[in-house]
């Protein structure tokens, strides 16, 4: 892991103070809503899939920079439960792109010690896409570097419903066995979310200037700082990530206190 700011940000734009970043206050978990691929492509008279393909380099850059900075968990919102409503050719192209990219990148991620996991319902994905994610998990599950959490076919409301259903099933099993049901509290739900083994994000970043969560980590982001940047996702790079982290570090996080 590289912790030398001059090496991580070698060509900072004028006016961007790299030294202002406090490495002792790097968030443990950064979550990113990658938005703007379609608009990026439209501005260039390209189809939307070209925008999604262009966004892959931004993903690579963000993973590399976050890992170098010491971020322990990076969650990227790659495909939501609502995205199935998009045109069929776009959805099919995205699924093919996910599989191709995951298989192409897993060796490099493994060499860097990155662990790849997914959150969401993979059962609805095409077999090739699902298998690519499963292979990435099996290849990297023993790594102890940064965990890359890929949210695919993910919707936070569906995740919360899933957690309650799991609780009710376990409670019914307990009643049938004549033993006490698990206590229903916040911990009971949190431990049954897809992200049960992942800490809540300190900061949620959204690109393209939008100011909404779009059904992303609704439970987990209760006290996350929200940072929005006008940059479209394919143009997001390590310096934009730096700006977002500087914005985050300027916040006074009181968690409801005075």
Give catalytic residues, as residue numbers. 35, 83
Instruction: Using alpha carbons only, give the angle 188, 191, 225 rounded to the nearest 5 degrees.
Output: 105
Q: Closest Cα partner for 66 from 32, 117, 15?
A: 32
SS3 82: helix
> In the structure encoding, which two tokens stand for residue 139, read together?
């290849």
Residue 146, classed as helix, strand or coil, is coil
The residues with which 147 forms a beta bridge, in sequence order, are 73, 115
Question: How far is 41 from 53, CA to CA, in rounded Å?
Answer: 10
How far apart (Å, rounded) are the C-alpha atoms in residues 153 and 84?
A: 9
Are the beta carbons of 208 and 35 closer than 8 angstroms? Answer: yes
Q: How far apart are CA 90 and CA 83, in angstroms?
A: 10
Beta bridge partners of 117: 149
């Amino acid at each position: 892991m590289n912790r030398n700011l001059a090496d991580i940000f070698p060509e900072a734009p004028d006016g961007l103070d790299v030294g202002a970043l406090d490495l002792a206050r790097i968030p443990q978990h950064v979550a990113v809503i990658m938005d703007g691929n379609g608009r990026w492509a439209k501005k260039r008279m390209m189809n939307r899939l070209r925008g999604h393909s262009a966004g892959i380099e931004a993903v690579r850059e963000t993973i590399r920079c976050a890992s170098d900075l010491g971020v322990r968990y990076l969650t990227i919102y790659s495909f939501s439960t609502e995205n199935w409503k998009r045109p069929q050719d776009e959805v099919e192209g995205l699924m093919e792109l996910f599989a191709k990219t995951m298989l192409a990148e897993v060796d490099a991620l493994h060499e860097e010690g990155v662990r790849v996991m997914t959150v969401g319902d993979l059962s609805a994905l095409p077999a090739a896409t699902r298998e690519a994610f499963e292979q990435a998990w099996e290849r990297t599950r023993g790594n102890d570097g940064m965990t890359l959490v890929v949210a695919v076919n993910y919707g936070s409301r569906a995740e919360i419903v899933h957690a309650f259903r799991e609780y009710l099933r376990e409670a019914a099993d307990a009643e049938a066995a004549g033993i006490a049901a698990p206590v229903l509290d916040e911990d009971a739900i949190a431990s049954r979310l897809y992200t049960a083994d992942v800490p809540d994000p300190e900061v949620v970043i959204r690109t393209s200037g939008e100011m909404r969560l779009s059904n992303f980590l609704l439970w987990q982001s209760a006290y996350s700082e929200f940072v929005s940047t006008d940059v479209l996702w394919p143009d997001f790079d390590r310096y934009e990530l730096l700006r977002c982290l500087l914005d985050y570090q300027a916040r006074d996080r009181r968690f409801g206190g005075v």
